Amino acid sequence: MSRPDDPTPSHDAIIAGLAVQARNLASAAEDLRQTYRFSRQLKVILAIGALVIVGIGVMLGLLVSIANDNHDNGVVIRDCTTPTGRCYQRGQDATAKAIAVIVAEINAHTDLVFLATLECSRRPLSDAAFDACLRARGVHP
């Protein structure tokens, strides 16, 4: 009978089997470590990719908003620069009214000067007296 301290073929085989198992476990642990590291790297890459996709989505949303604003501005600009536009017609009407007021004021002043000149030239006056006559009638020479 053998002692427990004496190596026997079955004892050696068990130790050899355990050594193989230990190597296999060490190899599996290394594989798991590599897989975990790859998994972390993949998570980082996926997170960065998700951020890029969200950023692109936000930028696309802003671009669509800007395009819509530009379209609205273009409609207003066309309305104000095309003779058939309502804005253009309002501008034309306002300009016509302003010009009519200016022309009426010029005509009224011209009539005043004409009448005052006729009244003041009926009698012989000096230049100073003629100017005074015009001033008295609201004309400032």
79-126, pLDDT tens digit by residue?
A: 999 999 999 999 999 999 999 999 999 999 999 999 998 888 887 778
Asked whether residue 1 carries a pLDDT value surpassing 50, the answer given is: no
Q: Which of 45, 60, 81 is where one domain is finished?
A: 81
Q: Which of 81, 114, 132 is where one domain is finished?
A: 81
**Same-domain pairing of 24 and 75:** yes
**Same-domain pairing of 101 and 58:** no
Query: In terms of residue numbers, what domain contains 40?
Result: 8-81
* Any domain includes 59: yes
**Same-domain pairing of 21 and 73:** yes
Return the pLDDT at 10.
85
User: Which residue in 119, 106, 115, 113 sits closest to 139, CA to CA?
Assistant: 113
Asked whether residue 35 carries a pLDDT value surpassing 70, the answer given is: yes
Q: Which of 81, 99, 114 is where one domain is finished?
A: 81
> Is 88:82 a contact under the CB 8 Å cutoff?
yes
**Same-domain pairing of 57 and 40:** yes
**Same-domain pairing of 37 and 76:** yes
* Any domain includes 1: no
**Same-domain pairing of 109 and 61:** no
**Same-domain pairing of 37 and 55:** yes
> 1-10, 25-34, 64-73: which has the minimum mean pLDDT?
1-10
**Same-domain pairing of 52 and 33:** yes
Tally of structural domains, the chain: 2
Query: What is the mean pLDDT of the segment spanning 62-69?
Result: 90
* Any domain includes 3: no
pTM confidence score? 0.46
Asked whether residue 50 carries a pLDDT value surpassing 70, the answer given is: yes
Return the pLDDT at 101.
96
* Any domain includes 43: yes
